[in-house]
Every structure is written in structure tokens, then in C-alpha cells.
Structure 1
Amino acid sequence: MTEGTQAAGPGANTPGRPGRPTAVVVGGGLAGITAALALADAGVRVTLLEGRPRLGGLAFSFRRGALTVDNGQHVYLRCCTAYRWFLDRIEGAALAPLQDRLDVPVLDAAGHEGRRLGRIGRTALPVPLHLAKSLATYPHLSLAERARVGRAALALKSLDLADPALDAEDFGGWLARHGQSERAIEALWDLVGVATLNAVAGDASLALAAMVFKTGLLSDQGAADIGWARVPLGELHDRLARKALDSAGVRTELRTRVTSVSPYENGRWSVSVPGERIDADTVVLAVPQRETHDLLPAGALDAPGRLLEIGTAPILNVHVVYDRTVLRRPFFAAIGSPVQWVFDRTEASGLTDGQYLALSQSAAQDEIDAPVAELRERYLPELRRLLPGTRGAEVRDFFVTRERTATFAPTPGVGRLRPGARTRAPGLWLAGSWTATGWPATMEGAVRSGVSAARAALDTLGRPRDHLLGLFEEAA
């Protein structure tokens, strides 16, 4: 084919009207969906290409018999302003509401006299006093440990997130130097950090950990209030997202794998899929870092090999269906147990008899490839220890889902490897939670990256971006 021609077919891009720029977004996860919507809302004619048969990336749902199952439990916080914008944009905010006020039940199963319940919550007092009552009454730490936690929190609050030295240091070492015991790290710092960073403190960049705790717990009294989908994730990230894309005029093609992205001499771009080529004025690559590396044209990044140095970290999800109700609260966290976080997904899954619990196990390097039978033997007894109601209940189903590359690994030094949205190739932009958003690999980070890529592209195309102003500061 010659420049300016396109093969007919479902992925072919209809030529834009004079003066109306065109864009191709490669990847239909949250980053790609966001970029496509932000571009289309500014009048760009957008084609979104996704290799899977659905949208949503790694936050999706599937059917298992009569159940609708999320591949893993995903939550967000009130401080996740970009993801909240995304929910509003797809008209899904009411389906993923926030808590009125932070409240996390924490069960300790390590004691010989049975489980012990504590809570992490907040009051209406200003920061940092909003957490004082919760910390003062937290039963899983001694009085001295609680006092040292308070001092460490104040030291953390004083850190400058713009200091590049933070990225080279590990969070566990910083905590130890600030008087945090192994028990305090397990019962508090890792309780939050493992779920948000997908790494224990000793394996996590201080820069990312400080960002999580400063933004989530020490910026605003309501910043850490938790939200989660009361419907299957596919309802939000696939059905409603596709509806929003259609309404915005985005051409969305599923089961369409991009094989190459290359520039023309006139500054336009060619995106190849099997059997055809799509031409565009600008391209956003919103796929994982290794796939991005393989698609990048020569010279697009100064050191493209750095993308391959960004490691990945797994998340294991354990799903248990009981014949009766065994948990009376929507979720809880556990310490003194292999169990990390447990959510009631009964209503969302469509189950009408019994109860369906989903266990989210982050930083699961040691278990991600374990046989289902072995995981069953490990986790069912732990649930019996934590939840007395399970002791007489029948397990109707037990299965696991595994995301071996669920997130990028937030190791010390990863910050220098994460590229921004801009490349050296005019008209080519990068998006994905692994890019330089300042956030760990979360839904918030993914949406922020999509907005940053779209904002940069709109600047270059000379299109309005007023609809994105004030959403958040652009990532580097």
C-alpha cells in the first residue's frame, strides 16, 4: 500500500473532514479508553484498537457458570480524582460509590485465644488529627509502637516527593530507621502498602510509598475513603466504557492486534493490523511496557531498553463460594494470616443463594504458580480461623485467578525507568500505569496516564483541551 491508502474492513479509519485531525489509540485498558475519550471530546476522530475481545485491560469480568466474576478485586480512594472523573465520564459513579468515611476492619488471627478485631478509620478532625483516635485505639500495636507510628507519619509527611533521591531508597529501610518494628510494618504499613503498591515495604521505592501515604492518608481528611464497584467490573470498564466511546464517536475495534507503528515523512503515522493499515495524525500507545517496546519505531525513546528493565509483580485472587452467609460486612483485612483482604462479592456476581468471597493476595510471587489444590488447603483453614461462620458451611466452589504481570514492580530505582507521555517521535505518545504518573500501578495511575497523553497530543494538534484543565497536574 502507498501512503494515504487504507484497506477496507472493520478497522479502517474513515478519512477525517478537512481540518479535523485523526488519532489511533492502541490498547483498550483504562489508559487507552481515557485517551480515546479525551481526544474525541476535543473533536479528534479516534480509532481505538484492542487485541482482546473486550475492553478494560486487567480490570475485567468473566462468566463462570451462573456467576459473573471479576478477575480481581479493585478499589479506589477519594483522592483518586482521575478515576472518579473517569467514572463520571462513563456515567458509572453511582455503581462504584465511596464510603461515607474511611473504615477498615482488621482481624488478627495470630493469637492463641482467637481472632481480635481492630479498625482503621478517621474522624472529621483536620489532618493529621483525623487518624489520631484510630491509631490511639488500634489494638494490634502496643502503646509504644503506636507512638512511634505517629512520629514516622509526621516524618513521612515532611518528605519532598520531588526529591529524586527518594526513588533510590527502599521504604522498609526508611521505616526501620524511623523506629518501626516488624510488627508495626506488618500490622499497619504493609497492610496499606502491599494492597496499593503490590510489594512489601522492603521491596518498594520510598518515593512511591511516600506518595501513597502522603496523598491517601495525610493530604485531606477524606482522601483515604474507599470506593469499589458494586457491579461486575465489566459493567463499568467494558459495557459503559464502550457506550461512552460510541457516544463520543470513537470507532472501537476489538480482537484487533497491532503489528507495527511507523511514521511517514510528512509527520503522519501508519498503524498496521493484520490485512490492513490505518493512517492517522497522532498515535497513543496504551499497552504494557514490553509490548510498547516492541512497537516503538527507532529513535522514539533515548533508551528504549529501559522499558524492559521495568519489572512486573503478580496478584493472586482466591474465590470461595459458600452455601450460606459467613461474613456480615462488605470487606475486611487480615494480619497474622496469609489472607490479606477479603470482599463479599455475592450481590455483584449475581449469586442468589449462599455467599461468594473474593480474596485479593498482592505481592504473590511465592504463590502465583501454586496448584489450586495446594491453595485450597492453605486458605480454607485460614478462613475458618478468621470467620467462625465458615466452620459449619459447605464450600460449593473454590477457584483462583492469576495475574502474573498485574502491575509494574515498584522497586527502588523504577522511577528513572518510567517514561513520560512524550516521545522523541512527533505525534507519538505513551500511556499506561507504568509510565511516569507519579503513582503506583493503580486504576488512578492508568487514567492519569491517558489524560496526560491526550493533553500532550491535543497541544500538538492545536485542539482545545479545556475539558481537561484542572483535572490534575500533568505528569512529567
Structure 2
Amino acid sequence: MSDTDKRPARLPADAEGRPGREAVVIGGGLAGITAALGLADAGVRVTLLEGRPRLGGLAFSFKRGDLTVDNGQHVYLRCCTAYRWFLDRIDATSLAPLQDRLDVPVLDAATRVRTRSGEGPRLGSLRRTALPVPLHLARSLAGYPHLSLAERVKVGRAALALKSLDLADPELDNQDFGSWLRRHGQSARAVEALWDLVGVATLNAVAGDSSLGLAAMVFKTGLLSEPGAADIGWARVPLGELHDTLARKALDSAGVRTEIRTRVTSLSPMENGRWTVEVPGERIEADTVVLAVPQQETHDLLPDGALDDPDRLLGIGTAPILNLHVVYDRTVLRRPFFAAVGSPVQWVFDRTDASGLTDGQYLALSQSAVHDEIDAPVAALRERFLPELERLLPAARGAEVRDFFVTRERTATFAPTPGVGRLRPGPRTKAPGLYLAGAWTATGWPATMESAVRSGVQAADAALMVLGRPRGHLFEEAA
């Protein structure tokens, strides 16, 4: 196909006489998909360019024999209003439902009790009631068996102190969450069995490595805002069905031209105020460009003068996530998921139905902030984690392991270290018509699917304001 054949034609003027507008979105993760949909829904002609052979960024699926496997377990919360809008926009809400009410089983591998299946770990839970905040968690905390009575009382006091923090205070970003917890009487056990249980999964860092500002945002928004804010949702189908198949269908319906396996080689402004985007074999011109790629790639593509200090992007570190996949010959877990303490195991999800497995059970272990294990050999991980699963799940002790494999995302998220807030750029740049998106940009959220969608909302909103295009009310809610 020639350059002329592939290049989108200039749009005619709209009904109000405004000239047609064209945009290029670089990156087909959740941020880029959201930005493309937002622009297209407002009448802009959009081309979406993605270097990988699929959409969805780091929330994707692949085939392993007869299994359809997610590269890692992803969840969202009821308070994730932007991601919930995204699911609705791509017609996927029913495929990733929320819990009716927060209920997290927590197994303590270090404390053994008698169960119907023999000796097993002590079971506790984090469960909410319908009472108003903070009473909605009071009963669960009062009966949480993994902490002493004194520790539970101190946790309650720390939660009230956390609720009083002002998230707009920039000084919170310069402090680490671990030090704040110690100052508020939290024991090492309380940090492990409660604060890090939630924080590691949402921040991808332990408390001592996390910005107090981001940690406070997570706990205030998720646990201390509305009673149902922390209810958990997750995909009951492979992530690729949501973030690739259904997202692509929504993009096609919106008139977005989507090109996969298309890596951008350069980006440059033109004298007439437009932009040229170079890909192999083609030059694409546009009025607006949204860069929705990781911070290193963004740094490499930014034209001179787009940011006052582009090297600050390189100061935003990354953090890994390791996922272990275990296929048993029988059912060993009766719950959809659980979290663990007193064990290297963090969170375990049953992915049997979603994967298409018809015989046995497939469990996915999500391991965040695993800097020391991300490059460990598969054999070493198998030797360490299979016995741990047997400690946590008595039914696994006699089960045959049919498959054990590993997926690694070495740069899964940005690192939420103290001071990272001042490094995260907003959607606007100093180059007219150029905008930034990505979970690592200044959304106020840690590196989650919610942050990615919000960043796409912000970039589309900023561009549409300049273009004089109408904005949707859903973007008003998520921005």
C-alpha cells in the first residue's frame, strides 16, 4: 500500500463550519485507546499506532497450548470510575463484574490450625459491612485474627490519622509511607499483615519504598471514602478479550484507524503548526499527537523544547511484577482468590474458567515488588513456591502439578518512590498540539489501569479544549 493510500484524507468541515481535525495517538495500551476514543467521539479523525501485534499494553493475554493465559492478574476497585467508564465504553462491564461487597480471604501460613482437610493456615478476612465510613470495616478489623488486639486498636488510630491527611499537600510526596506508619505505632507485623497486604498490590512497592502521598491516596480513596469503594472487580474472561478484541471493536466503530506492528521512529513539528509522525514506509500528518507510551520511549520521541526538563522522565523508576502459573490435576482452591501473609505468596487467583481449562484447576500467583526474584530461574521459583502453596492449600498436597510456568514484567509499573510526584508530567507540553498520556503521568493515582485510563481522558480533554471540540460528560466525571 502506498503512502498516499494509507494516509487519512483531510476531513471536511463539520456542521458548524469548523475545519476537520486529525490526530495521531502513539501507543495502544489503555491510555492510548482511551485517548483515541475520546478524540474520535468528539469528531476528530484518529489514527492509533501500536508497535506490538495487539492492543492492551501490559494487560494482555496469550496462548499456551489449549490455555488462554493473562500475562498477569489485574483487578480494579469500585472507586475506579474511569476504568469502569472504559469497560462500559467497550461494552465489557458484564465480563469484569465487581464483588457485591468487599471480601478478601487472608491466609496466614505461619499459624497452623485444625481444618476439615487437616492442619492448615489460619483464615481471616477483610470484609466490609453497609455501615458508613469508617464503621464499614470496624467489625472486620475487630475480628482480624492476624493481629493482636493492641495492634488492631493502633491500626484503627492510624487509619483515622491517614484519613485526615490532605492529599493536596506536596510534602506528602517527599515522605515514605513506612516511616509514617512507624511514627503512628504500627508494628512490623501490622505492616505485613495489613498495610502491605493492600499497598504492595496497589502500589507495587512495600511501605518503606512508597511515597506517603500515593499511599495515602490509595487508602483514603479505596478504604476511607465510601463504604463500597474498595469492592474488587476482575475479568472473568481473558484480558485480551477486553483490552484487545472489544477495544478494537469500539475503536473501529468510532472510526479510528488502528495500525498494529507499527513502531513510530520520529515525531516532529511542521512549520504550519501540524505534526509529522514517521513510521516505516509512511509519514502521517496530524493537528494533534498524543504520546501514550512508557516514559523512556516518550523521552526518546519528544522534540526539543516540549518539556522544560525532559530528563526528569528518566528519573521515574520502574518496578517489576512476577506471575507464577500453576495447573493442577484437581481442584485445590474453592475460593475465587485469596491473599497470604507469613509466606512469600502474595495473591492467588483461580483462572480455570477464564483460561478455558476443562480438567483440573489453574491458579495464577501475582507477586508484586519482587526485585530479588524477577530474574530467578523457573526451577528455583518452582522449588520455592509449590511447597508454599501446599502450606496454604492442604488440598494441593496430593495433587499433581501438570504445568508450572512464569511470566515476568520487569518494568510493569513506575516505582512510587518518595519524590516521584514532582517528576510526573501532566498531559500538556510546551509544544502546541502535543500531549502526554500513560499511567506514569500526573494522574494522582499509582500505576494502575485506572491511572492509565485517566491519563488518556486528561490528554483527550486537553486536546479537545484547544481544538474547540465538545467534551463528553463521562470525561468530566473521570477527569
Q: What TM-score comes out, normalization by structure 2 length?
A: 0.97
The answer on 1:65 being equivalent to 2:65 is yes
Shift of 1:36: 0.2
Residue equivalent to 1:349: 355
Give yes or no for contact 1:287–1:432 (8 Å, CA) kept in 2.
yes
Shift of 1:454: 0.1
Shift of 1:469: 4.6
Matched residue of 2:422: which SS?
Answer: helix
**In 2, Cα distance between equivalents of 1:285 and 1:466:** 21
**In 2, Cα distance between equivalents of 1:56 and 1:442:** 13
**In 2, Cα distance between equivalents of 1:141 and 1:364:** 25
Give yes or no for contact 2:69–2:355 (8 Å, CA) kept in 1.
yes
Give yes or no for contact 1:49–1:256 (8 Å, CA) kept in 2.
yes
**In 2, Cα distance between equivalents of 1:167 and 1:17:** 47
Structure 2 gaps of 5+ residues are 14-18, 114-119
**In 1, Cα distance between equivalents of 2:439 and 2:330:** 38
Counterpart of 2:446, as a letter, is P
The answer on 1:316 being equivalent to 2:322 is yes
Counterpart of 1:121, as a letter, is R
Shift of 1:112: 5.1
The answer on 1:83 being equivalent to 2:83 is yes
**In 2, Cα distance between equivalents of 1:435 and 1:313:** 15
User: Of 452, 455, 460, which residue of structure 2 is paired with 1:449?
Assistant: 455
Residue equivalent to 2:141: 135
Residue equivalent to 1:301: 307
Residue equivalent to 2:269: 263
Residue equivalent to 2:293: 287
Residue equivalent to 1:14: 9
Map residues 128-277 of structure 1 onto 2, 5 A cutoff.
128-277=134-283
Structure 1 gaps of 5+ residues are 1-5
Distance 1:469 1:246, change over 3 A: closer
Residue equivalent to 2:117: none
**In 2, Cα distance between equivalents of 1:454 and 1:159:** 31
Q: What TM-score comes out, normalization by structure 1 length?
A: 0.97
Map residues 372-451 of structure 1 onto 2, 5 A cutoff.
372-451=378-457
Give yes or no for contact 1:38–1:468 (8 Å, CA) kept in 2.
no
**In 2, Cα distance between equivalents of 1:345 and 1:238:** 19
Shift of 1:265: 1.6
Shift of 1:471: 1.3
Number of equivalences: 467
Residue equivalent to 1:3: none
RMSD between superposed Cα atoms in Å: 0.9
Counterpart of 1:7, as a letter, is D
Shift of 1:451: 0.2
Residue equivalent to 2:129: 123
Give yes or no for contact 2:321–2:366 (8 Å, CA) kept in 1.
yes
**In 2, Cα distance between equivalents of 1:318 and 1:448:** 29
Give yes or no for contact 2:204–2:319 (8 Å, CA) kept in 1.
yes
Deviations 1:351-385 (A, max 9, x none): 00000000000001010000000000000000000
**In 2, Cα distance between equivalents of 1:14 and 1:417:** 38
Give yes or no for contact 1:451–1:468 (8 Å, CA) kept in 2.
no
The answer on 1:42 being equivalent to 2:42 is yes
Residue equivalent to 1:53: 53
Give yes or no for contact 1:208–1:410 (8 Å, CA) kept in 2.
yes
Matched residue of 1:377: which SS?
Answer: helix
**In 2, Cα distance between equivalents of 1:175 and 1:13:** 55
Shift of 1:20: 1.4
Give yes or no for contact 1:368–1:404 (8 Å, CA) kept in 2.
yes
Matched residue of 2:371: which SS?
Answer: coil
Give yes or no for contact 2:133–2:224 (8 Å, CA) kept in 1.
yes
Give yes or no for contact 1:455–1:468 (8 Å, CA) kept in 2.
no
Give yes or no for contact 1:167–1:206 (8 Å, CA) kept in 2.
yes
Distance 1:251 1:453, change over 3 A: same
**In 1, Cα distance between equivalents of 2:132 and 2:410:** 40
Shift of 1:422: 0.4
Give yes or no for contact 1:35–1:450 (8 Å, CA) kept in 2.
yes
Counterpart of 1:169, as a letter, is Q
Deviations 1:388-412 (A, max 9, x none): 1101100000000000000000000
Give yes or no for contact 1:314–1:406 (8 Å, CA) kept in 2.
yes
The answer on 1:111 being equivalent to 2:111 is yes
Deviations 1:106-150 (A, max 9, x none): 000012554100000100000000000000000000000000000
Counterpart of 1:182, as a letter, is A
Shift of 1:466: 3.1
**In 2, Cα distance between equivalents of 1:112 and 1:320:** 24
**In 1, Cα distance between equivalents of 2:131 and 2:9:** 56
Matched residue of 2:36: which SS?
Answer: helix
Give yes or no for contact 1:312–1:407 (8 Å, CA) kept in 2.
yes
Counterpart of 2:346, as a letter, is Q
**In 2, Cα distance between equivalents of 1:381 and 1:81:** 39
Counterpart of 2:385, as a letter, is Y
Deviations 1:272-292 (A, max 9, x none): 001110000000000000000
Matched residue of 1:404: which SS?
Answer: strand
Shift of 1:8: 3.1
Shift of 1:470: 3.2
Give yes or no for contact 1:331–1:343 (8 Å, CA) kept in 2.
yes
Shift of 1:89: 0.1
Matched residue of 1:108: which SS?
Answer: strand
**In 2, Cα distance between equivalents of 1:227 and 1:13:** 39
Shift of 1:13: 2.4
**In 1, Cα distance between equivalents of 2:305 and 2:3:** 28
Matched residue of 1:91: which SS?
Answer: coil
Give yes or no for contact 2:25–2:291 (8 Å, CA) kept in 1.
yes
Give yes or no for contact 2:294–2:438 (8 Å, CA) kept in 1.
yes
**In 2, Cα distance between equivalents of 1:157 and 1:67:** 44
Residue equivalent to 1:332: 338
Give yes or no for contact 2:112–2:122 (8 Å, CA) kept in 1.
no
Matched residue of 1:451: which SS?
Answer: helix
Counterpart of 2:52, as a letter, is R
Deviations 1:185-229 (A, max 9, x none): 000000000000000000000000000000000000000000000
Give yes or no for contact 1:421–1:452 (8 Å, CA) kept in 2.
yes
**In 1, Cα distance between equivalents of 2:12 and 2:25:** 19
**In 1, Cα distance between equivalents of 2:472 and 2:368:** 38
**In 1, Cα distance between equivalents of 2:46 and 2:141:** 49
User: Of 463, 467, 470, which residue of structure 1 is paired with 2:469?
Assistant: 463
Matched residue of 1:8: which SS?
Answer: helix
**In 2, Cα distance between equivalents of 1:25 and 1:43:** 15
